Amino acid sequence: MAEEEDDPGFDEDLDDGGNGVDSGQGKRKRLFSKELRCMMYGFGDDQNPYTESVDILEDLVIEFITEMTHKAMSIGRQGRVQVEDIVFLIRKDPRKFARVKDLLTMNEELKKARKAFDEANYGS
Amino acid sequence: MADPARVKPVARVSEAPVPAERPKQGEGSGDAPGSSGKVSEPAAVQTTAKEQGKARSAEDAAAAAAAGDEEEGSSSLHPPPAKKLKVEHDKKKEKRQKVDEDEIQKMQVLVSSFSEEQLNRYEMYRRAAFPKAAIKRLIQSITGSSVSQNVVIAMSGIAKVFAGEIVEEALDVCEKWGDTPPLQPKHMREAVRRLKSREQIPNSKHKKILFH
């Protein structure tokens, strides 16, 4: 009954019961470990969250992004992911919708500000 | 940025001015101060914010309607409909800006009263983000074609909100089960199960059979 997932000598991927979301998803390197730790602390967890919890959250986030991408590819222009498709998919969820609107608006404002700043520099 | 105000607060200073502004909705606001425990208070603050939002939008509608009526009845030379709409839109924009400024001011007051630990946590909350390069690589590996920068920005933002929803739910579960943070995998899984039942987690793997 040994938990062999942590054994460094083992090369194969050991799935327990095939729960793709819960257990380690293959040998993919952890993409977001550092950022997710900071994020979990910011959202209310302990300053040092458990590694297993961070792993579970990373798998969930990657699955979420994958699902959204697949859905976005199937609507609007097929085979491509565009911002309008993402906004359409998220329209029912008020939090995410508001956040995307805010981010895109801020991005536009920043671009305008940078452009104005550059033009001012170029002129003087 | 209005986002932090909408997220469920970790430790919330009770906003004294808010209950005073709230119109009488008859929701038992009278007995709230005496009996509010720690659990009911955040809920009360949240419903207050929601009601305030509703009251504000009701106010907006009423003000716009009143302004429209006023202009029509005052003289025979009433402004054309297009100008009326523009004036209403400007008034709404002003009100929205004023609301934003109010919210910014309230946030400033709140943040200035944070303890050091709360400041650390708040800084992490604002600063933590997914690396754009990794997200871009992930999306491009799925689509097979390149994606624009806006897509990456939108997707990382949504992913962060998603992570926040899961952590919040897991903290609820943790508290309900009488455990303490750090969160354990069992809390995360129970949180996922709950969010799935509320359909907040997209799942296109389950094949729905229509007439079973």
This complex has an ipTM of 0.78
The minimum CA-CA distance between B148 and chain A, rounded to whole Å, is 7
Other beta carbons within 10 angstroms of residue B52's beta carbon come to 16
Q: Which of A53, A68, A83 sits opposite B183 (nearest CB)?
A: A53
Q: Which residues contact B150 (CB under 8 A, 6 or more apart)?
A: A83, A104, A107
pLDDT at position B73 over 80: no
The yes or no reply on domain A28-77 and CATH 3.30.310.50 is: no
Is pTM beyond 0.80 here?
Answer: no
Nearest CA in chain B to A78: B143
Give the helix, strand, coil percentages of chain A, each rounded to 5.
Answer: 60, 0, 40
- Chain B positions in Cβ-Cβ contact with residue A109 (cut-off 8 Å): none
More confident position, A40 or B90: A40
- Confidence class for position A124, pLDDT limits 50, 70, 90: low
Cross-chain Cβ contact B139/A65 below 8 Å: yes
> What is the reported pLDDT for A24?
53
Domain boundaries, chain A: 28-77, 90-123
Nearest CA in chain A to B139: A69
- Using a CB–CB cutoff of 8 Å, tell me whether B202 touches chain A: yes
- Using a CB–CB cutoff of 8 Å, tell me whether B2 touches chain A: yes
> What is the reported pLDDT for A40?
95
- Using a CB–CB cutoff of 8 Å, tell me whether B158 touches chain A: yes
Cα separation, B56 vs B61, whole angstroms: 9
Q: In whole angstroms, how far apart are CA B150 and each of A62, A85, A100, B146?
A: 19, 12, 10, 12
